[in-house]
Structure 1
Amino acid sequence: MELWYKEPASYWEEALPLGNGRLGAMVWSGTAQEKISLNEDSLWSGYPQSHDISGAAEYYLQARRLSMEKKYEEAQALLEQNVLGEYTQSYLPLGELTLDMAHPEGEIQNYKRALELEKALSRLEYSAGEINYTREMFISAPDQVIVMHISADRPGMVSLKAGFSCQLRAGVSIEENRMILDGIAPSQVDPSYIDSPDPVIYEDDPEKKGMQFCAVLEIDSEGGEMKRLPEGLEVIHADSVTLFLAARTSFNGPFRHPFLEGRPYKEPCFAELQAAREKGYDRLLERHIEEYQQYFNRVSMDLGPGREELPVPERLADWDKDVDPARFTLLFQYGRYLLISSSRPGTQPANLQGIWNQHLRAPWSSNYTVNINTEMNYWGAETVNLPEMHEPLFDLIRNLRISGGNTARIHYNAGGFVSHHNSDIWCLSTPVGNRGKGTAVYAFWPLSAGWLSAHVYDHYLFSGDLDFLRQTGYPVIHDAARFFLDVLTENEDGELIFAPSTSPENQFIYHGKVCAVSQTTTMTMAIVREVLENAAACCRVLGTDQEFLAEAEEALGRLPSYRIGSRGELLEWNEELEENEPTHRHTSHLYPLYPGRQISLEETPELAEACRRTLELRGEESTGWALAWRICLWARLHDGEKAYGMLKKQMRPVNGSNPMNYQQGGGCYPNMFGAHPPFQIDSNFGSCAGIAEMLMQSTEETIDLLPALPRAFGTGMVSGLRTRAGATVAVSFRDGRLEKAELKGTMPQERELTVCYKGRKKKIILGKGMSVSLTEADF
């Protein structure tokens, strides 16, 4: 369970990530110079602002009328000119810590750097001359500090100079054995894809200033001498050196001004450093590993033998050969590691890059892209036994319910709440695009609140936590449903639809022109259906809101059915339209297959076959995150070989020397970060979820064992996966066949469940503390 390499990182996508949910670091592990790229999850540009557009609702209603008349081009132009507002703000890099190392003369030998997933520990070993050096680094969640320990096997051989650099407005000061980076974030950072003459703006007006931030480094040396330099700190001839780094911002919530109402940010750093120094390196490491492993060790996996004797780049070079099934175990556990490292209770949710970003203007602002990417980050959270890491997303949703309530009222004359395809730390809920021609294809998509609400309902299903459902889940689901009920309109067949609508980032040909806005789409109506079904289920479970329940059930009975096209495919729009890009990366209309559960092989075989045909027509090449979605979709269709084909492509090495090459095919970088390209972490999380789906799937009442097991995973096991049916699952298999499954009940009340294997079924009774063992002979 380690990623290891024979050379230092030469670019960012070769460095190795550490994180505690809030603090992030990319470790380059150079010998002459160590470079640590730093992030803090609340460091964003901007401050709270309202971007709701007064009068937008009237234009929305006009666009709806035009779409119902099938004047799609006119509807799109109207929306783009009148209802699209400002872009989100940007997630920012904190800075870089550099350590210039002094070594005795001699060739660098025996080099090995590694990221140990089981300990969340970066480790570097090498020799210089006759001296053997070791660096260990981790980021502690219990103590909220970054810690690095540098040692040599002879006394007095550790010498270094430490310095900070930063792309933001910041200064460095030296106090005793501390080095302090203190700065302020920009008030505005335009997206990298916008051609702006002044893309990064710092305001002098206090009401428009961005958030303040600091990083504080403290050095503790064993032996040797420490010097204060104008630009940093120097340690000379120490036996060993321990570095402690703390960082904070003045962010005080999405609705408080970070400069005028900011939280203290320096004093907590000093307190954290003092507490860390008093504990010392060994105790800090012990506390870090113990806390981290309570999450990581919940799930074990073995998919077969591997080539662990090879460094990662050599293992990736054989991505298309069936010689190293253990690399998929590594990919799965790396996904779990990254989620633990980038999303913890009380932190910000994982963004497009988790918490790791080096760019002042990151790709797509490294924001919350909620037309799939943010949701994909959390697809596996419950199944892979990390429900706590889901919590930051719930915090974002709760806050979007506030800002999105205003947007629903102002933009749609509706109750409830709405959000569109982008958000940020300030909980922007309005459609972006800034009145740009052609932007509706991504910007006008008022469905994300609905999709996000499915996450809170899923958390309830996995946990059975009625208090959570009552206090958090149902209020969110109710308001997402309320918005949809208020905007649904009758079509010519008397059905209720959400109009106008787009299918995320895809377009069609209409009357010879490329267009994105139609009457409605399959994904739109799938999300509407799912939200109304979840809202109705909540009302029944909680015994509440009977009038609302009746309204939701009446609307559900009038939603249109899914339609199959002339090629046997599931239609993407409300009518059969020519696709502008037949191999488009988004497979949005397959939402009811995955992550939704409205289409299945058993319950809706004809629609499942249409989903299969759709995937065949879309082709087998795409971007990184889109390949991850296809893994999950093929797994839901119980096609292990197709899912495995997509999974292999996730391991395809991508040249990171040009990481901004959007046109290069998907795969992964040398550090196994997902390559869109550029880097997006959603493909890591989506692949992790997809592997879990290949081995086990669940509904509220069923558990499907090994539904999409490929031949390459002939013999192995997984334990600790969670289900919606109130059980954790351990399953072992040999030569592609079930060897043994053990199911342990997690719900307080006993319930009857159906366990499925290769189309055969077995009824069992499970309750909390109960367990059932099954073999293939039991089916």
Structure 2
Amino acid sequence: MDDDVDRTGGDGAHGRDPEPGAPLLLRLDEPARTWTDAFPVGNGRLGAMVHGGTAHERLQVNDDTCWSGAPLTGPVEPVGPLGDDGAPGVVRRARALLAADDPLAAEAELARLQSGWVQAYQPLVDVLVEQPGAAGDAGYRRTLDLGRGVATTTWRSAGGAGWRQDVLVSHPDQALLLERTLDAREPDGDGGEAWVRLTSPHPWAAPPARAGAPGDGPAVVVATLDLPSHVLPDWVADPEPVRYGGRAVHAAVALAVLADGAGASVQVVDGAVRVRGARRLRVVLTSATDHDVAAGALHGDRDRVVADALAGCRRAVAGVDGLAARHVADHAALLGRVDLDLGAPAPDLPLDARLVRHAAGEPDPHLAVLAFQHGRYLTVAGSRPGTLPLNLQGIWNDRVRPPWSSNYTININTEMNYWPTLVGDLAECHEPLLGWLDRLAVAGGSTARTLYGVRGWVAHHNSDPWCFTGPTGRGHDSASWSSWPLGGAWLARHVVDHHDWTGDVDALRRHWPVVRGAALAVLDLLVELPDGSLGTSPATSPENLYLLPDGRPASVAVSTTSDLAIVRDLLEHVRRLAPAAGDHDEHLRAAVDGALERLPTERVAPDGRLAEWRTDVPDAEPEHRHQSHLYRVFPGTSIDPDTSPALAAAAARTLDARGPDSTGWSLAWRLALRARLRDPEGVDALVRAFLHPVDAGPAEPGPQRGGVYRSLLCAHPPFQIDGNLGFTAGVAEALVQAHHRGPDGVREVHLLPALPTAWPAGRVRGLRLRGGLRLADLVWRDGRVVRAVLESDRPVVVDVRERGADARRQVAVRPGCPGLVEPVPRG
């Protein structure tokens, strides 16, 4: 670090110390042409995609409790046939077939355990605003203010009048608000006639109709609908993929329309609201369902659902004048905890043009700032205490049969959704995942007993709010994804991480059954191999395949690297945290210790890569999107260039072999991996790859590569939110790491461990680190730290080092007494 650690002056690209609070605006200069062009707003439960039309506006609305299906009523039901020894007998036969070197027969055997599919996340309604008198495109601009949580559209009508529309979804008021206003500087005129309508892709149980008697107040309409009782995944062929009429979520929507202006009026006509003469039009929407998230149950009281929606709407209308201010204060209080500036201003261009220029090689560090904060924004807008966890699309989806059912894909994607919450100082937004895990572990206990005859709990690669935990399919899904019982073991790491960041012992003890149960299951699933080691059989490496000697692809094997990495990571955390959790079971401790002594660690293959399989077999798809065998690099913390240099080098070779392109979410994961491996050039390449615009022009020949849509939503393609959230975590990992403890137990804080040369100057404030630490301030110039301040909510001593320096300085931090990091000499 420079000697002058407090110097904050200077200017220019390599000298400016940015000030926090610069507007974080996503900007596009035309209305949405597709759903992925729209901007998302939300409050954790209620979400909307704002299309930004002038004469015709569409708000596509979701409620996070709206899923197909209903709570499960019994254990998983394998398709079979199983035989007299039941499902555990199937597992034993598959294990024997693997021992006999017949993995394809083992796959066919395991297909008997498949038990159906998860349910699908559902759209709720569309709010349509039709206002021909406001039509126009002159001066058009729409923005999403990440810091305020407001989508704004401004334009001039064909007659020259200025218009502004703001859309937000308030957490304090649990309501959506659209406000469309004629510029006050326009002394005459109004918006003419406008119509506000509700539509839904689902049949109405009761169509939109006036609630209450006509009067001078706002027009309020209410509608109800029943969600499908069953929806098959979009890739499953079936004559009746969407079914209504059985047990399902019941939903109600209440919509109020207010009009201001001399002579303004509102009237409900055939379930729609006609507005005349309004200079300001406000639409308030609330929703309710009978889906009790905490219990994972349906209460079934239809009258209560309608009453809840109407009561929420009337409360919001009563306080409508302060609703926007309450929302902005609430949203900004969360998003404003972390500030990042990479020392470069935002060019005065719309987002799509900036993405194209950036892809052509034009530097634009501010794009990375927007993408970093966009991930935090989506977390705040999509995950709040009391809601369900973020699914594959967060809380935003317009399809009855969305891609992959918009479910919880727990062999990477759901976990990635929550990678930025703790480092991004949004610990309360982590709670929906932890609460759901408590219920998932209970359901997974039945699956563990039924399918494997083991203790604890298991979950496979897909789940939903009803806590489906079985292998997907009806005997036809690929074993490469379906036959993987370690979803619970991976998810349990989030309980561990929550404690390691926050130090919340009460939360650790409350959720400890998730961790303990996952550990019991993996202990029982381990088998002794011929060499005396412990391993897993049957095993897969999620969604990947290898080639048999005759060239046929196979997925089931013995002791895949990812299996052993996840198991080792889990058991090490159980051994470390059991005392803090109040778990003093000596039998468990002995079993964990014994298993860890016999578990193999990762190995380096002859070609220098980190081996993915127990034996050296060819890859069926060398550039595969999953890299689960690198689990202990990231999200694990056990392999890095200091602690395991040979394995870290092999992990880097693995990433090299995977190639430069992949799906959007895989690029985000690779970004975090490269950062953990302290590879600034790799970080730079992956930032550029992630920010590749997938919809900037004609489709490229061959498979469509991942990146982002013009709205900055991540493209698998199609849209998946996990990439947006994983990108945020990867950027944070490039700026600071605090996962390592030295031999003396002192935590290391590594500043700028993987800073790319494209970000020579910058400042970050507010990132949270393991051990209860907070990076209160970090300023760098010319790639060198010039100021670093640490805070802590408890007394702690840390070793601080800087990128490129081996020397460390110990810094003591106490509550209320920040630690100013002194210069660290180069060594």
Q: TM-score range by the shorter chain?
A: over 0.9
What's the offset of the Cα at 1:501? 0.6
Three-state SS of the structure 2 residue aligned to 1:731 is: strand
Q: Which of residues 218, 230, 237 is equivalent to 2:256?
A: 218
Matched, 1:771 2:813: no
Does the 8 Å CA contact 1:212/1:259 hold for their aligned counterparts?
A: no
Instruction: Give the Cα–Cα distance (whole angstroms) in 2 for the partners of residues 553 and 251 of structure 1.
Output: 43
Three-state SS of the structure 2 residue aligned to 1:760 is: coil
1:456-467 → structure 2 map (5 Å cutoff): 456-467=495-506
Does the 8 Å CA contact 1:110/1:125 hold for their aligned counterparts?
A: yes
Alpha-carbon distance change, 255 to 68 in structure 1, aligned in 2, over 3 angstroms = farther
**Cα deviation digits, residues 247-273 of structure 1 (max 9, x gap):** 121112486653747793221211111
1:693-708 → structure 2 map (5 Å cutoff): 693-699=733-739, 701-708=747-754
Three-state SS of the structure 1 residue aligned to 2:492 is: helix
Instruction: Give the Cα–Cα distance (whole angstroms) in 1 for the partners of residues 194 and 71 of structure 2.
Output: 42
**Aligned partner letter, 1:745:** S
Instruction: Give the Cα–Cα distance (whole angstroms) in 1 for the partners of residues 810 and 302 of structure 2.
Output: 56
Instruction: Give the Cα–Cα distance (whole angstroms) in 1 for the partners of residues 772 and 71 of structure 2.
Output: 41
Three-state SS of the structure 2 residue aligned to 1:527 is: helix
Instruction: Give the Cα–Cα distance (whole angstroms) in 1 for the partners of residues 699 and 573 of structure 2.
Output: 40
**Cα deviation digits, residues 612-659 of structure 1 (max 9, x gap):** 111111111111001111101111111111111111111111128999
Matched, 1:314 2:314: no
Q: Which of residues 754, 758, 776 is equivalent to 1:712?
A: 758
Residue 76 of structure 2 corresponds to: 52
Q: Which of residues 680, 686, 690 is equivalent to 1:640?
A: 680
What's the offset of the Cα at 1:555? 0.8
Instruction: Give the Cα–Cα distance (whole angstroms) in 2 for the partners of residues 108 and 393 of structure 1.
Output: 42
Does the 8 Å CA contact 2:165/2:179 hold for their aligned counterparts?
A: yes
Instruction: Give the Cα–Cα distance (whole angstroms) in 1 for the partners of residues 452 and 728 of structure 2.
Output: 37
Residue 608 of structure 1 corresponds to: 648
Alpha-carbon distance change, 712 to 423 in structure 1, aligned in 2, over 3 angstroms = same
**Aligned partner letter, 1:509:** L
Q: Which of residues 482, 497, 507 is equivalent to 1:468?
A: 507
Residue 324 of structure 1 corresponds to: 364
Residue 193 of structure 1 corresponds to: 235
What's the offset of the Cα at 1:661? 11
Instruction: Give the Cα–Cα distance (whole angstroms) in 2 for the partners of residues 71 and 297 of structure 1.
Output: 56
**Aligned partner letter, 2:816:** G
Residue 435 of structure 1 corresponds to: 475
Identity across the alignment (%): 35
Instruction: Give the Cα–Cα distance (whole angstroms) in 1 for the partners of residues 490 and 283 of structure 2.
Output: 43
Matched, 1:157 2:202: no
Residue 374 of structure 2 corresponds to: 334
Does the 8 Å CA contact 2:296/2:466 hold for their aligned counterparts?
A: no
Residue 348 of structure 1 corresponds to: 388
Matched, 1:93 2:116: no
**Cα deviation digits, residues 78-130 of structure 1 (max 9, x gap):** 001x10111000001112110001317x8541111111111101111111113
Range 49-58 or range 653-662, more displaced: 653-662
Three-state SS of the structure 1 residue aligned to 2:47 is: strand
Residue 119 of structure 1 corresponds to: 148
Instruction: Give the Cα–Cα distance (whole angstroms) in 1 for the partners of residues 672 and 296 of structure 2.
Output: 39
Instruction: Give the Cα–Cα distance (whole angstroms) in 1 for the partners of residues 793 and 799 of structure 2.
Output: 13
**Aligned partner letter, 1:166:** S
Does the 8 Å CA contact 2:565/2:601 hold for their aligned counterparts?
A: no
Gaps of 5+ in 1: none
Gaps of 5+ in 2: 1-23, 79-85, 742-746
Residue 547 of structure 2 corresponds to: 509
Residue 793 of structure 2 corresponds to: 746
**Aligned partner letter, 1:150:** R
Three-state SS of the structure 2 residue aligned to 1:180 is: strand
Does the 8 Å CA contact 2:527/2:534 hold for their aligned counterparts?
A: yes
Instruction: Give the Cα–Cα distance (whole angstroms) in 1 for the partners of residues 434 and 721 of structure 2.
Output: 19
Alpha-carbon distance change, 392 to 680 in structure 1, aligned in 2, over 3 angstroms = same
**Cα deviation digits, residues 219-245 of structure 1 (max 9, x gap):** 111131112211401100112121110
Matched, 1:489 2:527: yes
Residue 83 of structure 1 corresponds to: 113
Does the 8 Å CA contact 1:419/1:429 hold for their aligned counterparts?
A: yes
**Aligned partner letter, 2:766:** G
Residue 209 of structure 2 corresponds to: 173
Range 708-717 or range 531-540, more displaced: 531-540
Instruction: Give the Cα–Cα distance (whole angstroms) in 1 for the partners of residues 308 and 294 of structure 2.
Output: 20
**Aligned partner letter, 2:324:** L
Instruction: Give the Cα–Cα distance (whole angstroms) in 1 for the partners of residues 42 and 578 of structure 2.
Output: 39
Instruction: Give the Cα–Cα distance (whole angstroms) in 1 for the partners of residues 558 and 824 of structure 2.
Output: 52
Three-state SS of the structure 2 residue aligned to 1:46 is: coil
Matched, 1:305 2:340: no
Does the 8 Å CA contact 2:103/2:554 hold for their aligned counterparts?
A: yes
Three-state SS of the structure 1 residue aligned to 2:358 is: coil
**Aligned partner letter, 1:726:** G
Instruction: Give the Cα–Cα distance (whole angstroms) in 1 for the partners of residues 174 and 459 of structure 2.
Output: 32
Instruction: Give the Cα–Cα distance (whole angstroms) in 1 for the partners of residues 730 and 611 of structure 2.
Output: 24
Instruction: Give the Cα–Cα distance (whole angstroms) in 2 for the partners of residues 23 and 492 of structure 1.
Output: 54
**Aligned partner letter, 2:209:** S
Instruction: Give the Cα–Cα distance (whole angstroms) in 2 for the partners of residues 524 and 245 of structure 1.
Output: 47
CA RMSD of aligned residues (A): 1.9
TM-score normalized with structure 1 length? 0.96
Instruction: Give the Cα–Cα distance (whole angstroms) in 1 for the partners of residues 129 and 258 of structure 2.
Output: 14
Residue 723 of structure 1 corresponds to: 769
Instruction: Give the Cα–Cα distance (whole angstroms) in 2 for the partners of residues 102 and 53 of structure 1.
Output: 55
Instruction: Give the Cα–Cα distance (whole angstroms) in 1 for the partners of residues 699 and 438 of structure 2.
Output: 34
1:366-405 → structure 2 map (5 Å cutoff): 366-405=406-445
Q: Which of residues 450, 462, 482 is equivalent to 1:410?
A: 450
Q: Which of residues 570, 586, 590 is equivalent to 2:626?
A: 586
**Cα deviation digits, residues 27-69 of structure 1 (max 9, x gap):** 0111110110000001000012235136222111221222233
Alpha-carbon distance change, 649 to 614 in structure 1, aligned in 2, over 3 angstroms = same
Range 365-374 or range 547-556, more displaced: 547-556
Alpha-carbon distance change, 69 to 597 in structure 1, aligned in 2, over 3 angstroms = farther
Matched, 1:287 2:318: no
Instruction: Give the Cα–Cα distance (whole angstroms) in 1 for the partners of residues 644 and 296 of structure 2.
Output: 48
What's the offset of the Cα at 1:471? 1.8
Matched, 1:519 2:555: no
What's the offset of the Cα at 1:498? 1.6
* Number of corresponding residues: 769
**Cα deviation digits, residues 397-450 of structure 1 (max 9, x gap):** 1111110000001111001010010000101011112110x5111111111101
Matched, 1:444 2:483: yes
Range 727-736 or range 63-72, more displaced: 63-72
**Cα deviation digits, residues 495-533 of structure 1 (max 9, x gap):** 111211110110011132210000121111111001111
Does the 8 Å CA contact 1:53/1:411 hold for their aligned counterparts?
A: no
**Aligned partner letter, 2:771:** A
Does the 8 Å CA contact 2:75/2:450 hold for their aligned counterparts?
A: no
Does the 8 Å CA contact 2:49/2:60 hold for their aligned counterparts?
A: yes
Instruction: Give the Cα–Cα distance (whole angstroms) in 2 for the partners of residues 562 and 607 of structure 1.
Output: 7
Does the 8 Å CA contact 1:536/1:549 hold for their aligned counterparts?
A: yes
Instruction: Give the Cα–Cα distance (whole angstroms) in 1 for the partners of residues 660 and 296 of structure 2.
Output: 46
TM-score normalized with structure 2 length? 0.90
What's the offset of the Cα at 1:568? 0.6
Does the 8 Å CA contact 1:70/1:519 hold for their aligned counterparts?
A: no
**Aligned partner letter, 1:317:** V
Does the 8 Å CA contact 2:807/2:824 hold for their aligned counterparts?
A: no
Alpha-carbon distance change, 745 to 757 in structure 1, aligned in 2, over 3 angstroms = farther
Instruction: Give the Cα–Cα distance (whole angstroms) in 1 for the partners of residues 124 and 350 of structure 2.
Output: 30
